[in-house]
Amino acid sequence: MQVKTKKLSVGYNKKSLISDIDLGVEKGKIVTLIGPNGSGKSTILKTITRHLEKIGGVIVLDQRNIEKWSNKELAKRMSVMLTERVAPELMTCHEVVALGRYPYTNAFGKLTPEDEAIVMDSLRLVRAEDLAYRLFTQISDGQRQRVMLARALCQQPEVLVLDEPTSYLDIRHKIELLDILQTLASQKQVAVLLSLHEIDLAAKISDWLICVKGDRIKVAGPPDEVFLDEKMCELYNLQTGSYNTLFGSVELTQPKGEPEAFILAGNSMGIPLFRLMQKYGLPFSTGILFENDADSQVARVLSDHVVMAPAFSSINDAHIAQAKQFIDQAPVFVHSGTPIREQNARYIELLEYAKSVKKPVLSRESFIRKLGSGNRKEMT
């Protein structure tokens, strides 16, 4: 274990905010802290990196109490990237990254050719070599984030600690940064400890997750045990909307009331329509969805009126009867465009039934046009 804590207590002014923190990060593994804003993720990381004084407990680095490491020794083994913005005046990005080599330099701080090569390699690794000779204060926040990561990598650490490293990054650079962290962990056997707000990304990158809430660690474990709908709702105290761990997506608050449309869905064709209805605050009914269909994952949290069939089963008479009841109650029938094949062949019965009871039958395209026209209550 590269980094380990035992009964660690963290806080400010000798007052403990979070206690009994037991965590460990092994070589080649990524451990991620998640939790609401203000839950103490940064406080934990800053305490482990000695930016804050611990209240109690023990922090061990490479089987040695971290208090016994000198600053220079620690800097050679652990590099840190925190959220605080830095603005070094009149320094180029190359010079900022080169600061990561100073634990290895002599008393005069002179860089060797080898040090210079490591600086440029670190910039290349984060796709920032084109920024090398630009002033750090004259680049964007996202570019600064990459340069600061390059500085951390320049130390060639055994342990890399990052506090919300994806802040200020667009989606492309978020993905690139996380790819870099995975490469460092898997190929260079760096132990990575970080905090993230994007829980969908945390699920994809992490070997172990630590959920921080209140004065204790709420939950800890591998992603498949931690990322469950009910645990995420509890961790973030979701009062409205929901989080779908299968998709790693958030759904907004379900519209309430009588359905304004019955949507014949399936094969992922219904999801955009469900979300449009939610956007405009219009309740809907839908079916007949199989439990293993992606549409069912979204429909069940955005509507109380869903006809659901077991996965890999056949549509039976009870499903048809319930769907017909929903069709009777809705002003309009919408065909999402889902293909009708052997398993859902009975969808044809629903289409014919809607026509027989004089329900307007709208295609996907015409329905979307009517929703966007402003006359949303007059979709017929």
Q: What is the CATH number of the domain that holds 66?
A: 3.40.50.300
Last residue of a domain, one of 182, 212, 237: 237
Question: 217 with 261, same domain?
Answer: no
Question: 231 with 258, same domain?
Answer: no
What are the residues facing 3 on neighbouring strands? 25, 61
| 327 in any annotated domain | yes
Last residue of a domain, one of 194, 209, 237: 237
Closest by Cα among 159, 147, 153 to 50: 159
Residue 180 neighbours by CB under 8 Å, 6+ apart: 125, 126, 149, 153
Q: Show the domain range for 345.
A: 252-372
pLDDT at res. 370: 86
| 363 in any annotated domain | yes
Task: Print burial letters for 80-113: b (CB count within 10 Å at least 16), e (below 16).
Answer: bbbeeeeeeeebbbbbbbbbbbebbeeeeeeeee
pLDDT at res. 203: 87
pLDDT at res. 85: 66
| 246 in any annotated domain | no
pLDDT at res. 327: 97
Question: 225 with 196, same domain?
Answer: yes
Question: 75 with 126, same domain?
Answer: yes
CATH no. for residue 281?
3.40.50.720
| 295 in any annotated domain | yes
| 258 in any annotated domain | yes
Structure tokens at 87: 């603005």
Question: 39 with 112, same domain?
Answer: yes
Asked if residue 152 lies in contact with residue 124, where contact means CB atoms within 8 angstroms, the answer is no
Question: What is the number of structural domains in the chain?
Answer: 2
Q: What is the pLDDT along the chain (380 residues), one digit of tens a residue?
A: 689 999 999 999 889 999 999 999 999 999 999 988 888 999 999 999 999 999 999 999 999 999 999 999 999 999 999 877 666 778 999 999 999 998 888 766 788 999 999 999 999 988 899 999 999 989 988 888 889 999 999 999 999 999 999 888 888 888 888 999 999 999 999 999 999 988 888 988 999 999 998 888 988 999 888 887 677 777 877 766 677 766 667 788 899 999 999 999 999 999 999 999 999 999 999 999 999 999 999 999 999 999 999 998 999 999 999 999 999 999 999 999 999 988 899 999 999 999 999 999 999 999 999 887 765 555 55
Question: 128 with 256, same domain?
Answer: no
pLDDT at res. 12: 93
What is each CA distance from 132 to 38, 166, 177, in whole angstroms? 35, 21, 18
Question: 265 with 117, same domain?
Answer: no
**Locus of tokens 């000198």:** 70
pLDDT at res. 240: 67
| 380 in any annotated domain | no
Question: 149 with 233, same domain?
Answer: yes
| 243 in any annotated domain | no
Question: 58 with 187, same domain?
Answer: yes
Cα Dmax for the chain? 89
Question: 277 with 193, same domain?
Answer: no
Asked if residue 22 lies in contact with residue 3, where contact means CB atoms within 8 angstroms, the answer is no
- CA 361 to mean position of chain CA atoms: 39
pLDDT at res. 281: 92
Structure tokens at 61: 């680095």
Question: 59 with 178, same domain?
Answer: yes
Asked if residue 22 lies in contact with residue 58, where contact means CB atoms within 8 angstroms, the answer is no
| 169 in any annotated domain | yes
Last residue of a domain, one of 211, 237, 263: 237
The Cα 207–Cα 174 span in angstroms is 18
Question: 310 with 201, same domain?
Answer: no
pLDDT at res. 83: 74
